[in-house]
A and B are shown apart, each in its own frame.
Chain A
Amino acid sequence: MATFSITVNGVQHNVEAEPDMPLLWVLRDILNLTGTKFGCGVASCGACTVLADGHAVKSCVLPIQSVENQKITTIEGLSADGNHPIQVAWETIAVPQCGYCQSGQMLTLAGLLNQKPSPTEDELEAAMSQVLCRCGTYQRIRQAALLATKKSKL
């Protein structure tokens, strides 16, 4: 066990964990932030996506020691009141069915927009194709992503 300093949603934590514990399990089991979801454990589904220093990362394969001192944003911290333009777009389009993958979907888009405020269609596809939705809400995710992209340009 060792102590790691990370900032999650603006709050600095000193976390006691094994150095190889993935960020996902630090968030879920130690910090009790369950909005970040476990989907596969091998970065194949994107359900666990969070932002690390603004970049979208798969938290299930990122050992805590590799993100020390980074600023992590989870779905709980994307906005204070659920009114981030991406969340608003998802709400407007009524995207979710079961909703399990949607935090990963929204944070993947947030990461993309941090890098490319006006992404091309190819860039959007490349980013969003990393996150699976078994309910099949992709058409709505696309509509919401386009809506959020427009809004974030304003």
Chain B
Amino acid sequence: MTKVAIHRRDFLKISSWSTGGLMLGFTVPGFSAIATTLPFSECDFFQPNAFLRIDKDGTITIFVGKQEMGQGVNTSLPMIVAEELEADFQKIKVEIAPFGTLAEGAHDTGGSMSVTGSWDELRKAGAVAKNMLVNAAAKRWNVNPGLCKAENGTIVHSTSGTSLTYGQLACDAASLPVPTEVTLKNVRDFKLIGKEQRKKNLKDILSGKNLYGIDVKIPGMLHAVVARCPVLGGDILSVDDTAAKLVPGVVTVVQYSGTGTPMNVRAGVAVVATNVWAAMKGRRALKITWNEGPQNQESTDLLFQTFKTRAKETPAKIVHTAGDVDAVKTSKSLSLEAEYAAPFLAHATMEPMNFIAEVKDGKCELWGGLQLPDWTVNDISQKCGLKKENIKVNLTAMGGGFGRRLQFDFAIEAVKIAQQLNKPVQVIWDRADDLKYDNYRPANYHHLKAKWDKSGKLLTWEHHVLSTPIEWMTSGKKEGEIPSENVGGAGKDFWYGIPNVKTAYTPLDFNIQRGWLRGVEPVQNVFAIECFIDEVARKMKKDPLQMRLDLLKGRQPFEGIWGGTVAPERLAGALELAAEKIGWKNKRPKNRFLGIAGHMFFCDSYAAHAIEIEKLGPKKFKIVRIVSTIDCGVVINPDGLVNQMEGGTVFGLGQALKNEITVKDSKVEQDSFFTYELIRFNEVPPIEVYAVKSEARPGGAGEVGVATVSPALCNALAAAGMRPRELPIKNAGYVWET
């Protein structure tokens, strides 16, 4: 058991959560309850903080501050509260914490940080409520609180066996002061955490009742479909909307200019109609002349040629050094160089971008799914000339996020359109819009070098990363500042113990919007790192797994990019578990080969993949099975974790095999799932997921399962005599049987 102090700053902004007369039931940590002087009949519920409410009829509602997009926060986060509250999870109601009921930034959902970032706060939230309910019961019975125990939604008097439910105690508890410290449970006493729980809205999802942003209907709402400038930074020259306005159902056509950073919204012509289909038809009938601007001749072909040339030149920035790589001289036979490349990628959430805005009398109301609602409000306030306090946000579930909804270009569009109407309007993107105007994972290129001595000791590691940085799009280019995209193993968080290390970065400009895609920079860098370490091991004729384990043993724990401690031995543990489960040391049938790769993600999690393939021809193979392992400390909801890791594996497999965005004349060439190919049902081999048993503080699981699929697969192919170094591997003529 751990005692923790409760500060008022732990639970901010409760007071702005106004539900009219129901305010009476509130207590705010650090403040005495305001209900004390009021008759009980005016108390309806007990709400000690923004995360839970206990109604006097016994209903317990837990509010989820993070945004649900499939990653399971609406199960895992309430489990943490319920564990400390000692409530019956089956009876708990789960709701989205309304925007504004938490501190600025607390609704933000990204970086796989939901569990790890909320862990302490949610445990305290549950423990505070439990403490107050215990005190309420003790007061009612006039006994020592030490004799009252919280159990499954009731407080039990241990000597008499008398009990009261949380509902019966809600109004008593609401009148008590909030404790200044509470005791948290010992990890080993957890009853709920670690046991599989189902999504509360599972039945709703399976019967079509779960509402996503796209499903929200506001009375009088219109729908808008937008023709966007085909080149970023261009503008509208002229619009002939005569034919569009003749389409039955079309109400009006409005225009707006593009915005700059951070979202770089494209100039657009919006067809507004009474239904989506009419708006789509109307857009097809528009005749627009665009001024594409000066940056309209860029292509990915040229970008990758430039990457290749620049990779061997002096980098723009040295990111991290240890020892002195240049002082080490070895013969060519004791060294290796290799280059790796990966393309721009789109998020392609199944729910296309959409957003609803209504602007009336200087007030603005928004509906939709957002991963970063505070940034959205702040930027909309600036870009659209609205006062922040006049913007109300209604958050919805998302049909996939993967980082796409960290950006909010679609929300700015909705507001810009709504400002020209007097009705609520939903902007809706079709799949072509989604693929052509995404914020893409940067295209990236890597040049690596290593040297070793005759005894087989790896002496140097050099990694030059080249990419088209996200920062230049979201913050703009700043004189004298060179961003880098080296986190995830290509900077100071490189996890192998090698005495001389130099990592570097070169940014290249490119005129499409970039953004954060599930797994972000680690996915870019880990592909190169985990393929190259494998190549080095093979050239040294060492076992690629054993070499990794030896190098991890040679690295002490160190401070992570986002704080906390990176423990290389935990990565070794994830690799060893993957090796054991795939049967790394076992004899295999002819033509079967294994590959392995591991990495750590900055949300305090470590993961590995081991993949078995069957070689069917010179460039032909079949994936026999995939093992995915994770050490994310304490596992909250085991089945939710497995689902995330299975999904991460499929996500990574798509990037290994076939996902690719190409650009010609500064325009993305993919416009449907026929051209931006995703993994389908028949292509998924058996995936097994295993978690390392751990009592460590929980880490995140949303992204860590993606990065190591590509290198593990390429390493398995290398074991079979193939070595793809460019993703997706289909471009080099590799074919796979399903």
Q: Is the CB of B276 within 8 A of A140?
A: no
- Specify which of A37, A96, A125, A134 is in contact with B202 (CB 8 Å cutoff): A96
Q: Is the CB of B673 within 8 A of A87?
A: no
A-B residue pair count with CB separations less than 8 angstroms:
179
The answer to whether A18 has its CB under 8 Å from any CB of chain B is yes
Q: Is the CB of B206 within 8 A of A98?
A: no
Q: Is the CB of A47 within 8 A of B672?
A: no
The answer to whether A70 has its CB under 8 Å from any CB of chain B is no
The answer to whether A34 has its CB under 8 Å from any CB of chain B is yes
Q: A44-B673, A125-B682, A139-B684 are in contact. Are A134 and B348 (CB under 8 A)?
A: yes
Residues on the B chain within 8 Å of A98, using CB: 68-70, 349-351, 397-401
Q: Is the CB of A37 within 8 A of B350?
A: yes
The answer to whether B525 has its CB under 8 Å from any CB of chain A is no
Q: Is the CB of B681 within 8 A of A91?
A: no
Q: A25-B275, A82-B203, A133-B350 are in contact. Are A97 and B647 (CB under 8 A)?
A: yes
Q: Is the CB of A125 within 8 A of B681?
A: yes
The answer to whether B651 has its CB under 8 Å from any CB of chain A is yes
Q: Is the CB of B208 within 8 A of A103?
A: yes
Q: Is the CB of A44 within 8 A of B674?
A: yes
Measured in the bound complex, the distance between the Cα atoms of B206 and A79 in whole Å is 11
Interchain nearest-CB distance for A10 vs B (Å): 15
Q: Is the CB of A29 within 8 A of B349?
A: no
Q: Is the CB of A138 within 8 A of B205?
A: no
Q: Is the CB of A87 within 8 A of B70?
A: no
Interface size band for B:
35 or more
Interface size band for A:
35 or more
Residues on the B chain within 8 Å of A25, using CB: 275-277
Q: Is the CB of A134 within 8 A of B350?
A: yes
Chain A interface SS verdict (over half)? loop
The answer to whether B624 has its CB under 8 Å from any CB of chain A is no
- Specify which of B280, B350, B398 is in contact with A47 (CB 8 Å cutoff): B350
Q: Is the CB of A22 within 8 A of B207?
A: no
Name B13-34 residues within 8 Å CB distance of A: none
Q: Is the CB of A132 within 8 A of B647?
A: no
The answer to whether A101 has its CB under 8 Å from any CB of chain B is yes
- Specify which of A42, A129, A131, A135 is in contact with B647 (CB 8 Å cutoff): A135
Residues on the A chain within 8 Å of B687, using CB: 139
Residues on the A chain within 8 Å of B210, using CB: 99
Q: Is the CB of A87 within 8 A of B679?
A: no
Q: Is the CB of A97 within 8 A of B643?
A: yes
Residues on the A chain within 8 Å of B209, using CB: 35, 76
Per-position binary interface string of chain B over residues 341-360, scored 1 when its CB falls under 8 Å from any chain A CB and 0 otherwise: 00000001111100000000
- Specify which of B402, B428, B647, B683 is in contact with A137 (CB 8 Å cutoff): B647
Residues on the B chain within 8 Å of A126, using CB: 682
Q: A90-B206, A138-B650 are in contact. Are A131 and B643 (CB under 8 A)?
A: no
Q: Is the CB of B649 within 8 A of A134?
A: no
Interchain nearest-CB distance for A21 vs B (Å): 5
Q: Is the CB of B206 within 8 A of A142?
A: no
The answer to whether A149 has its CB under 8 Å from any CB of chain B is no
The answer to whether B695 has its CB under 8 Å from any CB of chain A is no
The answer to whether B438 has its CB under 8 Å from any CB of chain A is no
Q: Is the CB of B678 within 8 A of A132?
A: yes
Q: A39-B352, A94-B639 are in contact. Are A45 and B686 (CB under 8 A)?
A: no
The answer to whether B457 has its CB under 8 Å from any CB of chain A is no
Q: Is the CB of A131 within 8 A of B212?
A: no
Measured in the bound complex, the distance between the Cα atoms of B682 and A126 in whole Å is 8
The answer to whether A141 has its CB under 8 Å from any CB of chain B is yes
- Specify which of A35, A106, A135 is in contact with B70 (CB 8 Å cutoff): A135
Residues on the A chain within 8 Å of B696, using CB: none
Measured in the bound complex, the distance between the Cα atoms of B346 and A40 in whole Å is 14
Measured in the bound complex, the distance between the Cα atoms of B280 and A20 in whole Å is 12
Per-position binary interface string of chain A over residues 81-95, scored 1 when its CB falls under 8 Å from any chain B CB and 0 otherwise: 010000100110010
Residues on the A chain within 8 Å of B643, using CB: 94, 97, 137, 140
The answer to whether A4 has its CB under 8 Å from any CB of chain B is no
Q: Is the CB of B399 within 8 A of A100?
A: yes
Measured in the bound complex, the distance between the Cα atoms of B206 and A35 in whole Å is 9
Q: What are 19 A-B interface contacts by the 8 Å CB criterion?
A: A18-B248, A18-B249, A37-B351, A39-B431, A40-B430, A76-B207, A82-B206, A91-B202, A96-B205, A98-B70, A99-B399, A100-B212, A100-B351, A101-B350, A125-B681, A137-B647, A139-B646, A139-B684, A139-B687
Chain B positions near chain A (C-beta within 8 angstroms)? 68-72, 198-199, 201-203, 205-212, 214-215, 217, 223, 248-249, 275-278, 280-281, 348-352, 397-402, 428, 430-431, 639, 643-644, 646-651, 672-674, 678-684, 686-687, 738
> Top 7 nearest A-B pairs by Cβ distance?
A35-B208, A136-B650, A98-B70, A100-B399, A97-B70, A75-B208, A99-B205
